Amino acid sequence: MSIAASSESAGPRAAREVTFGPFRLQPERQLLLEGDTPVRIGSRALEILVALVEQPGEVLTKDVLMARAWPNVVVDEGNLRTQIALLRRTLNDGRAGARYVVAVPGRGYRFVAPVVHSLLPIEAPTIAPVAAQRSPALPKRISRVIGRDGVVAEAIKRLEHRRLLTIVGPGGIGKTTVALTVADRAAPVYPDGVFFVDLATVSKSIALSSVVAATLGLAVTSDDPISEVVDFLRTRRVLLLFDSCEHVLDAASALIDALLRGTADLRVLATSREPLRVEGENVHYLEPLDTPPAAAILTARQSLTFAAVELFVERAKSNSAAFEVTDETVSLVSNICRKLDGMALAIELAASRVDTFGLQDLATQLDDRFRLLMQGRRTALPRHRTLTAALDWSYQYLDRTEQKVLHRLAIFVGGFTLEAAQAVAIGMEDDAADVIRAIADLVAKSLVSVNAKGQTPVYRLLDTTRAYAIEKLVGSGEFTSTARRHAEHYRAMLVRAGADAEAIGRDEWLTIYGWHVDNLRKALDWAFSSSDDAMLGVALTQAALPLWMHLSLMNECRTRVVQSLLVLTSSAQRDLRLELQFQHALGAVLLNIEASGTELEAALNEALRIAEKLDDTDYTLRVLWCLWCHAHNRGAFREALALADRFCEVAPRSSDPVDPLTGERMRGFTAHFLGDQRTARRQIEYMLSRYVAPVHRAHIIRFQFDQKITARNFLVSILWLQGFVTQAQTMNATNVEEAQAFDHTLTLCNSLAKGACLLSLMANDLPGAQHYTDLLLSRSARDGLPIWHHWGKCFRGILLIKQGDVAAGLDLLRTTLAVLPENRFSLRHTWVFAQYAEGLCLAGSVDEGLGLIDKALGMCERDEELWCIAEVLRIKGELLVARGDAAADHAAETHFQQSLDWARRQGALSWELRTALSLARRYQGSGRRRDARNLLAPIYGRFTEGFETADLRRAKALIDELSGIDDR
């Protein structure tokens, strides 16, 4: 049985009601009542209230409440305090002796009023607009919706019992208007949000799942991220509105089917000119607005009971305040509405011209247009012909400048600014003032819509209007020149965006430039479709690189860069500098997505060849850095060291004083992995002592991460290994704070994965590990960074094991490592395998654990990843102890001794202590107490700090236990 079918047959459900004081809270309905009156309350405060009353009398920590109100988002504690204050004000807390929410200093909040829980049947959705906030992703109509109340109510009722409802009808009938009204009124019963997915702007070459991911706020890192979307929606109660599915019907149907099958409580509302034919689909065929019968003799008041007449009159009044329908003119209005077949868009267009022609001439002009229409295509639906007639008629009475501007504006996909409109609509022979006037007139005549809510007004042609006008543009012979101006405008805008990328924050930058991606795609499609304009496509691609990087559209960037390289390499005159930029960009992109090493290496090697040929120091360093990263990702640490040395040889020629220091950092990182902690620390501290941060963030563009924060990521691990535990933890906390303040997700994820999460888990600081792992998972999910998200899952799996939930931890590690091959991002891979093996030992799967630890040892030997070999050998010793036979006992002690030897040679005091603890317990168990004490006490005595940490506390306890005991 399908998910849709099972939901459909489930029958009425029961909803909870929690009563306290004069209030009634209905969580499933997202409704708070005082008596029978709905109480206005924000969605965050409401979610906090639900959490508190679910556990009355219990203290809920601040972290629990913030996770409940802001799921998968990291917010400041001040936001919680604000919402608590709003909640108390809403409940009149503290007035007339009423007490509901009490703060517990240093801990959290407790709900203290008596509560009564009960159940009530849900007969139909209770819509209470005051109980929920509108989703910011849902557009809102400014004008009143007319004649659709019954349809809207029926649609809301159907969505309560059916998971997919498709509103079907011809273009211009009002499908989108109805769907948006349904979504708006039903919003309170979807606590996790209502989202508008506009497919009208999407071409067939773009994966629809990418559009949905962007709408949900999930940054896209692949061409078809359907699994990320399903994971996000799996347990959420969300309504997705897919608008204008008809031109991507097959792709939309497949995506919606996959989303419904992969989720439990998702509802989908779609609009299309034909059914989606998805299993479980419920179709509503939208009828035209009611019009008066031809033979009816009506008064003006009676005519207004018909929705088509009401719509016509209201829209006519909005254009001419003096317009009135009278008993004498009602027949003309009724005739116009009938001739337009009750089509909402056609009626609105006609009504906008009443002040120009008057009712009588308007009706006559429509008659003329319909007679011409009958000579058109007979196979078209009548309503399609009627709408075309209305558009033809409206278009005919524009002046020549307005017609020309409307043609040219049709080149835009989705929204555009006035600046963009002027750049595209003003040709060399045009008067700029006339064009600007024409744009304003087109807005006034409802042929161009405008959304003025933001700082910059956004203009848009309705889909039907755009389709009509684009044909006129092609017929005018101006399509190519208009498309070229469109592409040149977006190239210039993106060049400006590239300069701004270093000067303003990421969020502000995306607000200004991120929404132009649809028009960028349109411009690139056109430019690369003709050899005459392919170089403009190349220039667009070059300018768009920062936008793709900020939006994490890695595969899209890769496709266009490859396309540009084909154009460049086939050109008679090669532009080596541009080829260098694209080859480097291709390599940098491939470092962050799942791609073959062959393609990545070919791009970077070619970039290096060109950079050296051009004696371009900057790009030589950029490419060497990428190659060094790639070597680390493959576990080729000796190769990485050679690349770091090569970087250091070139860096003194750079004008940037940070570059030689970056080379020292690279050497230090690689030395750390090779197990030479003394050299690693010396080189990283040398770099940090001389580092001066640049004024702008150019090093982010060149080397992806902030160099100072990245250097300290590894220094904290080195300090911990050497036994400077407190210093490591202090530096780690500071580093994460600076990474968060720096407002660059890659830098933060790098700091968490390579520093904070790892250090906390190595030191068995489980609260710290929980905090940092949650932060890594939330930020990597928010910005669509799958590799970093996989590492967050690995850390969470290890944390679960250390917290005692061994089965869940092992399952998470197993599933995550299955999608994280050993030859991709192998950083810390060996240590993760060792932790996995230790978890198997705790679960009693000793043989499986021994197989895995031998695999980890093989990786240490193969790659010379020696920084953790002492820990890998110790864990193998523990696995052999767990096996329990005589041969294993002897082998275990041998592995413990080898671990101690490696730790001492590397100066890894923390590994040495941990192995000494394992071996001392072994000695103690076999009666060799003095040997145990003599082994452990001197190692413990070499520590000068960190005595409050887990390993040192355990060591002290064992030493105390062994003290004063005379072995006999």
CB 193 within 8 A of CB 238: yes
Rounded Cα–Cα distance for residues 963 and 17 (Å): 62
pTM over 0.75: no
Confidence at residue 32, expressed as pLDDT on a 0 to 100 scale: 86
Level-2 CATH architecture, domain 3-130: Orthogonal Bundle (1.10)
Q: Where are the domains of the chain?
A: 3-130, 134-285, 300-395, 398-477, 481-550, 575-704
Q: Describe the strand order of the beta sheet including 239-243 as a list of residue ranges.
A: 194-198, 239-243, 267-272, 164-168, 282-285
Mean pLDDT value across residues 386-405: 73
Rounded Cα–Cα distance for residues 343 and 197 (Å): 24
CB 220 within 8 A of CB 214: yes
Instruction: Report which of 494, 542, 540 is spatially closest to residue 514, judged by C-alpha positions.
Output: 494
SS3 (DSSP) at 739: helix
DSSP 282: E
Single-letter code of the amino acid located at 308: A
Residue 178 clears pLDDT 50, i.e. is over it: yes
Within 10 A of 294 (CB to CB), how many other CB atoms are there?
9
Mean pLDDT value across residues 26-41: 79
CB 529 within 8 A of CB 479: no
Confidence at residue 4, expressed as pLDDT on a 0 to 100 scale: 33
CB 171 within 8 A of CB 144: no
- pLDDT per residue as tens digits for the range 517-557: 989 999 999 999 988 899 999 999 999 998 887 776 777 88
Average pLDDT, the chain: 83
DSSP 378: T
Mean pLDDT value across residues 160-173: 84
SS3 (DSSP) at 638: helix
Residue 924 clears pLDDT 60, i.e. is over it: yes
- pLDDT per residue as tens digits for the range 593-633: 664 578 889 999 999 999 999 999 999 999 998 999 888 88
Residues in the chain: 968
Top pLDDT among 9 and 40 is at 40
Mean pLDDT value across residues 448-463: 79
Instruction: Report which of 729, 765, 762, 768 is spatially closest to residue 945, judged by C-alpha positions.
Output: 729
Confidence at residue 936, expressed as pLDDT on a 0 to 100 scale: 96
Rounded Cα–Cα distance for residues 509 and 521 (Å): 19
- pLDDT per residue as tens digits for the range 802-845: 999 999 999 999 998 887 755 444 456 789 999 999 999 999 99
Confidence at residue 135, expressed as pLDDT on a 0 to 100 scale: 43
Burial 835-855 (b: 16+ CB within 10 A, else e): bbbbbbbbeebbebbbebbee
Contacts of 960 (CB under 8 A, 6+ apart): none
CB 86 within 8 A of CB 42: yes
- pLDDT per residue as tens digits for the range 722-753: 999 999 999 989 888 887 876 667 778 878 88
Rounded Cα–Cα distance for residues 57 and 68 (Å): 18
Residue 208 clears pLDDT 90, i.e. is over it: no
| pLDDT range class, residue 206, cuts 50, 70, 90 | low
The H or E element spanning position 105 is: none
Instruction: Report which of 763, 750, 732 is spatially closest to residue 791, judged by C-alpha positions.
Output: 750
The H or E element spanning position 589 is: helix 576-590
DSSP bridge pairs for 17? 118
Confidence at residue 75, expressed as pLDDT on a 0 to 100 scale: 58
Rounded Cα–Cα distance for residues 89 and 753 (Å): 41
Mean pLDDT value across residues 139-145: 69
Confidence at residue 373, expressed as pLDDT on a 0 to 100 scale: 30
- pLDDT per residue as tens digits for the range 303-326: 888 988 888 888 888 777 778 888
Percent of the chain with pLDDT over 70: 85
CATH number belonging to domain 575-704? 1.25.40.10
CATH number belonging to domain 134-285? 3.40.50.300
The H or E element spanning position 169 is: none
Rounded Cα–Cα distance for residues 872 and 880 (Å): 12
- Fold matches, 134-285 and 398-477: no
Rounded Cα–Cα distance for residues 502 and 514 (Å): 15
Contacts of 327 (CB under 8 A, 6+ apart): 299, 300
Dihedral over Cα of 791, 792, 797, 798: its sign: positive
Rounded Cα–Cα distance for residues 293 and 307 (Å): 13
Mean pLDDT value across residues 73-83: 67
CB 386 within 8 A of CB 346: yes
SS3 (DSSP) at 584: helix
**CATH 1.10.10.10 for domain 398-477:** yes
- Strands 194-198 and 239-243: what pairing? parallel
Burial 202-218 (b: 16+ CB within 10 A, else e): beeebbbbbbbbbbbbb
Instruction: Report which of 594, 596, 586, 547 is spatially closest to residue 563, judged by C-alpha positions.
Output: 586
- pLDDT per residue as tens digits for the range 676-690: 999 999 999 998 888
Q: Where are the alpha helices (DSSP H) in 705-785?
A: 707-721, 725-742, 745-751, 757-762, 766-782
